[in-house]
């Protein structure tokens, strides 16, 4: 079969090699190929000549006899002969006649019959050679040249096949290898003897078996003449070789495919690079998990499946609480390590059918598929949050990390998926309002709240510079003498359209953005400035101190101590009159870093108060190490809602512990004389609450200082005070 292919190659090589105009004819006298010289002689394009009967160009009676001989299967004149007709007239395309000489012969080579016609312009022929030469001599020359060209063409083909750097394969209709070259042997790790007579299935990658066989079927069926396809081979070493195969067929005179020539290109490195680039395009470079692009594609597919099978799905948006504080405190390297570790922990509880992705920054997305009930999504959220229970440790850094999760549950009734992530985001913000470590399922009302929240954040950006933010001050009283000894500074926002915006509304918004730092230092500046205006108070004749609440991000801000020192120096306020309040959760975020900050503050003679004491999860184990100047008992112990006896026992224990550790104990939320009496009996040092006053403006605070020696009001006065003053919830920046 390989020789039949050589005939096609030979025909083309023959006519290109000869200097005369050459026409290669089939056994009916129809032109199947020509060279450029004949096209030039006749004025036709090569494509216009192919398919014509040669007798339309040159009236060759000799051709008719040769055709008859071909049909009879015999040689004219008793053998293969070459005849020359020296005075014929050819018709050019333009209609002009041309005097030509024509030599014709019938060639039978390995079972295939051809008629070769050599056509020369008589004028050129006379100039080039002696036209008196014997016609038989000229014909012999043509025959010799044709035979030499056939041999040369075969050699060129074998050289091109066997010495080609590209792997080459010749195979039969049945797919068995007829021949292969050395390059293909090297690519597969097999010898010619191991390959010839067999097909490629025995070393094709299992998943790709059938690809080549399908191409053979299509070519044999006449659907295509050539094909290009991708498949993988298994090298003898076990290495997978990715290959691009280009296959074409060689057909016989009836149009049947006789055999196939395949050129194979090793694209293993290209395929690996493409796979790498595809992975990079669809995965987060830091954590290696899916990115938003891949997540959204899988979400679309999951939605389509839910439409078909009627199942539920869910999108969970996971946002790390105060991740910026981690970056600001420990640097971005620790922040990156935290993200990688969290992604790894989340992957450990991600179901095989689900997708975990990094949404960007400190947010992750989780796609849950195939849920049978909406409640399953909440259980998935619980598993994810549980992965953060174990503290994180990186070298010498140890800290806790929490997250909030917004959940949106969906089925196939939604028209599209475009709003799902936005809805999960709205639910996530509701979860943050509940405090760290919560999850919330989306409800339609949250979209309106999200829009309102966004508008409020924009307004909050301008509030500090437009004079809408002010500091109010709630007095801190010595429970023994009733003297005002200090004030807690609390931020208030009077919106030009909304009126007073409660701190528990705008403070969480600020904590979720960089605004919290700006507001925190605004509060510090304003509180220190106000404290410089306060005169001596009470029987002690001392000026009251001021407390300023610090958010987690501000407390762990590397510039905190230097900025405080600058404010004190600029204002002239004595350092001992400034107390900074931090909650247990903030202080214990990183105990080592907290102790370092507190040590710097102590060197400046600035006090620290541990706020909301008793509500944390490890207060007692670190209380002695932190050694705050003041511990503030949370108001839930002062006026408990449930289990009165148990709360009173805890209150007594906290006061006793503070006294034993020689710390000032301050009780919050005192509203009744009975509560005051109870605290006095326990020897609690200080207190604050509506029994004395809500938070008031600085002018009113100065009036309270002047009246501080008159003693606490009775219960009726306290009630009147609460109804006449616009008290605000005591959330603080």
**To which residue do tokens 């550790």 refer?**
661
Q: Is 538 a residue whose pLDDT tops 80?
A: no
Report the mean per-residue pLDDT for the chain: 81
**To which residue do tokens 């616009």 refer?**
726
pLDDT of residue 220: 83
Average the pLDDT over 79-107 and give the result. Answer: 75
pLDDT of residue 157: 58
pLDDT of residue 681: 92
- DSSP helix/strand/coil, 42: helix
How many of the other CB atoms lie within 10 Å of CB of 133? Answer: 11
pLDDT of residue 621: 62
DSSP class of residue 543 equals P
314-336 tens-digit pLDDT: 999 999 988 887 887 788 899 99
What does the alpha-carbon distance between residue 293 and residue 479 come to, in Å, rounded to a whole number? Answer: 62
Q: Is 709 a residue whose pLDDT tops 70?
A: no
Element (H, E) at 243: strand 240-251
45-54 tens-digit pLDDT: 888 888 888 8
Q: Is 143 a residue whose pLDDT tops 80?
A: no
Average the pLDDT over 693-705 and give the result. Answer: 92
Backbone angles phi, psi at 614, to 5 degrees: 100, -15
16-56 tens-digit pLDDT: 655 678 888 887 888 888 888 888 888 898 888 888 888 88
Average the pLDDT over 253-259 and give the result. Answer: 75
Q: Is 722 exposed, middle or buried (0-12, 13-18, 19+ CB in 10 A)?
A: middle
Vertex 77 angle, CA 74 and 82, to 5°: 100
Q: Is 348 exposed, middle or buried (0-12, 13-18, 19+ CB in 10 A)?
A: exposed
- Residue whose C-alpha is closest to residue 553's, from 525, 511, 595: 511
Element (H, E) at 274: helix 268-282
Q: Is 73 a residue whose pLDDT tops 60?
A: no
122-136, 424-438, 551-565, 567-581 — most confident range: 567-581
Check the CA dihedral 514-488-703-521 and report its sign: negative
Q: How far is CA 455 from CA 442, 444, 516, 681, in A?
A: 20, 18, 17, 49
What burial letters (b/e) apply to 578-593, b meaning 16+ CB within 10 Å?
bbbbbbbbbbbbbbeb
pLDDT of residue 591: 75
Tokens of 164: 């080609």
pLDDT of residue 732: 29
Q: Is 207 exposed, middle or buried (0-12, 13-18, 19+ CB in 10 A)?
A: exposed
Q: Is 347 a residue whose pLDDT tops 60?
A: yes
Vertex 418 angle, CA 413 and 423, to 5°: 85
Q: Is 719 a residue whose pLDDT tops 70?
A: no
Q: Is 689 a residue whose pLDDT tops 70?
A: yes
288-303 tens-digit pLDDT: 999 999 999 999 888 8
pLDDT of residue 728: 31
Q: Is 712 a residue whose pLDDT tops 90?
A: no
- Residue whose C-alpha is closest to residue 497's, from 468, 472, 525, 521: 468
Helices (H) and strands (E) in the chain, counts: 28, 26
What does the alpha-carbon distance between residue 536 and residue 610 come to, in Å, rounded to a whole number? Answer: 26
What does the alpha-carbon distance between residue 182 and residue 576 come to, in Å, rounded to a whole number? Answer: 89
Vertex 490 angle, CA 488 and 494, to 5°: 155
**To which residue do tokens 């004389």 refer?**
673
pLDDT of residue 111: 64
Instruction: Give, to the nearest 10 degrees, the angle between helix 332-348 and helix 323-330.
Output: 140
641-666 tens-digit pLDDT: 665 667 778 888 889 888 888 899 99
Backbone angles phi, psi at 471, to 5 degrees: -105, 130
What does the alpha-carbon distance between residue 408 and residue 110 come to, in Å, rounded to a whole number? Answer: 77
- Residue whose C-alpha is closest to residue 556's, from 509, 513, 515, 588: 588
The whole-model pTM stands at 0.50
Element (H, E) at 491: strand 484-495
State percent of the chain over pLDDT 70.
Answer: 80
pLDDT of residue 733: 29
- Residue whose C-alpha is closest to residue 146's, from 23, 287, 239: 23
More confident residue, 585 or 365: 365
Domains annotated for the chain, with CATH where assigned, are 2-160 (3.30.450.20), 168-272 (3.30.450.20), 284-443 (3.30.70.270)
State percent of the chain over pLDDT 90.
Answer: 34
């Amino acid at each position: 079969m390989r020789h039949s292919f050589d005939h096609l190659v030979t025909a083309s090589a023959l006519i290109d090699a000869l200097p005369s105009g050459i026409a290669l004819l089939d056994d009916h006298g129809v032109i199947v190929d020509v060279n450029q010289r004949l096209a030039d002689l006749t004025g036709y394009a090569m494509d216009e000549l192919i398919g014509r009967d040669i007798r339309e160009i040159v009236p060759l009676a000799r051709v008719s006899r040769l055709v008859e001989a071909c049909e009879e299967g015999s040689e004219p004149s008793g053998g293969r002969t070459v005849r020359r007709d020296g005075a014929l007239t050819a018709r050019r395309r333009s209609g002009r006649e041309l005097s030509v000489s024509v030599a014709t012969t019938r060639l039978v080579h390995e079972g295939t019959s051809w008629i070769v016609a050599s056509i020369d312009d008589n004028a050129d022929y006379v100039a080039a050679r002696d036209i008196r030469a014997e016609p038989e001599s000229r014909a012999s020359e043509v025959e010799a040249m044709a035979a030499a060209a056939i041999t040369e063409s075969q050699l060129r083909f074998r050289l091109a096949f066997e010495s080609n750097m590209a792997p080459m394969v010749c195979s039969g209709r049945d797919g068995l290898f007829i021949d292969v070259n050395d390059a293909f042997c090297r690519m597969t790790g097999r010898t010619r003897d191991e390959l010839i007579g067999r097909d490629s299935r025995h070393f094709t990658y299992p998943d790709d078996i059938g690809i080549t066989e399908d191409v053979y079927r299509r070519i044999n069926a006449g659907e295509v003449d050539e094909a290009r396809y991708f498949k993988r081979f298994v090298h003898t070493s076990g290495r997978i070789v990715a290959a691009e195969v280009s296959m074409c067929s060689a057909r016989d005179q009836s149009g049947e495919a006789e055999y196939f020539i395949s050129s194979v290109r090793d694209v293993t490195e290209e395929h690996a690079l493409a796979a790498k680039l595809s992975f990079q395009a669809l995965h987060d470079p830091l954590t290696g998990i899916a990115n938003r692009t891949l997540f959204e594609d899988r979400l679309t597919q999951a939605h389509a499946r839910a439409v078909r099978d009627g199942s539920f799905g869910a999108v969970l948006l996971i946002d790390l609480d105060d991740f910026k504080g981690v970056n600001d405190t420990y640097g971005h390297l620790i922040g990156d390590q935290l993200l990688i570790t969290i992604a790894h922990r989340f992957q450990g509880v991600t179901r095989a059918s689900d997708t975990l992705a990094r949404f960007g920054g400190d947010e992750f997305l989780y796609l849950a598929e195939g849920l049978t009930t909406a409640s399953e999504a909440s259980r998935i959220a619980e598993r994810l949050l549980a992965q953060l229970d174990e503290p994180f440790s990186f070298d010498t850094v140890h800290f806790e990390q929490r997250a909030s999760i917004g959940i949106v549950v969906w089925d196939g009734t939604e028209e599209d998926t475009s709003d799902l992530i936005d809805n999960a985001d709205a639910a996530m913000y509701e979860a943050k309002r509940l405090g760290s470590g919560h999850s919330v399922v989306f409800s339609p009302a949250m979209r309106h709240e999200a829009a309102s929240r966004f508008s409020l954040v924009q307004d909050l950006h301008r509030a500090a510079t437009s004079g809408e933010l002010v500091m109010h001050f709630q007095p801190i009283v010595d429970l023994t003498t009733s003297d005002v000894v200090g004030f807690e500074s609390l931020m208030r926002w009077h919106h030009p359209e909304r009126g007073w915006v409660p701190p528990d509304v705008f403070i969480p918004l600020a904590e979720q953005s960089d605004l919290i730092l700006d507001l925190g230092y605004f509060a510090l500046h304003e509180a220190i400035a106000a404290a410089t205006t306060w005169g001596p108070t009470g029987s002690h004749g001392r000026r009251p101190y001021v407390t300023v609440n610090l958010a987690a991000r501000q407390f762990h801000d590397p510039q905190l101590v230097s900025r405080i020192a600058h404010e004190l120096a600029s204002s002239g306020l004595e350092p001992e009159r400034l107390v900074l309040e931090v909650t247990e959760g903030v202080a214990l975020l990183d105990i080592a870093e907290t102790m370092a900050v507190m040590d710097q503050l102590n060197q400046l003679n600035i006090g620290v108060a541990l706020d909301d004491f008793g509500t944390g999860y490890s207060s007692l184990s670190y209380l002695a190490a932190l050694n705050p100047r003041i511990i503030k008992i949370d108001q839930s112990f002062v006026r408990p809602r449930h289990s009165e006896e148990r709360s009173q026992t805890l209150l007594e224990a906290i006061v006793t512990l503070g006294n034993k550790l020689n710390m000032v104990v301050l009780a919050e939320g005192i509203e009744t004389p009975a509560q005051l009496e109870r605290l006095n009996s326990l020897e609690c040092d200080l207190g604050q609450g509506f029994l004395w006053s809500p938070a008031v403006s600085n002018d009113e605070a100065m009036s309270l200082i002047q009246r501080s020696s008159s003693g606490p009001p009775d219960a009726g006065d306290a009630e009147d005070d609460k109804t006449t003053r616009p008290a605000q919830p005591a959330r603080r920046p």
